[in-house]
Amino acid sequence: MNAKANNPPTMRLCLCISIASLLLAGAVQAQAPKTANTVSLSDSTAGLDVSLEALDFLVGTWAGEGLGGEVDELWTAEAGGQMHGLFRLVSGGEVSLSEHMVLDRLDGRPTLRVKHFSNNFEGWEAPSESVDFPLVRVEDGAAFFDGLTIRQDGPNRLIYHLAMRTADGFQEAVLNYVRKQ
């Protein structure tokens, strides 16, 4: 047996390194990547302390490109504990998809809830269901939801990174917006 292995200072150092590694692994696990630019929520306490006011950079009317067409999005300021948004995708001169979005608290956590509609206004989800993106964290000019990252690129540009499920896992879609109002 190596004499250094029984040395108390060496054992304390190994123990400290082990504990630090476990703590760092926990922090990384709370925000594990889903795609190159999105994260996955795996820590039930992440994002709980964030207020909707931290997402004020979304407020306004936005237009751009993504998902194979032209995209428009509108976000209202927070009122009554909610922010509301509308999304439209136009491909080949026709609306192919629209969404109604609500940012509010679900189970105590800020969550982006989305309802999808076809061009004839038929809902994709059941009436009581939505596609939910729980908030993981907010940094200066960026919101990280589970599977969706929204980054501010200056005061008049937004870049969305959306993790879309495929047969092989996830593929990332990018939407680029410019502020219209």
Question: Is the same domain home to 135 and 80?
Answer: yes
What pLDDT sits at residue 17?
A: 31
Question: Is the same domain home to 13 and 68?
Answer: no
Question: Is the same domain home to 70 and 120?
Answer: yes
What pLDDT sits at residue 42?
A: 72
What pLDDT, in 10s, does the model give residues 160-177?
Answer: 999 988 898 888 999 999
Question: Is the same domain home to 84 and 139?
Answer: yes
Q: What CATH number should be reported for the domain holding residue 173?
A: 2.40.128.20
Domain containing residue 109: 33-179
Question: Is the same domain home to 110 and 54?
Answer: yes
What pLDDT sits at residue 159?
A: 97
How many domains in the chain?
Answer: 2
What is the CB neighbour count within 10 angstroms for residue 130? 20
Question: Is the same domain home to 70 and 150?
Answer: yes
Question: Is the same domain home to 145 and 156?
Answer: yes
Question: Is the same domain home to 66 and 88?
Answer: yes
Question: Is the same domain home to 18 and 48?
Answer: no
What pLDDT sits at residue 102?
A: 98
Question: Is the same domain home to 13 and 42?
Answer: no
Residue numbers in the chain where pLDDT is lower than 50 = 2-5, 7-30
Which whole-number Å values give the CA distances from 57 to 1, 64, 86, in the listed order?
A: 61, 17, 16
What pLDDT sits at residue 46?
A: 62
Question: Is the same domain home to 19 and 94?
Answer: no
What pLDDT, in 10s, does the model give residues 130-144?
Answer: 999 999 989 888 999
Question: Is the same domain home to 51 and 73?
Answer: yes
- Helix and strand numbers, DSSP H then E, in the chain: 1, 12
What pLDDT sits at residue 28?
A: 35
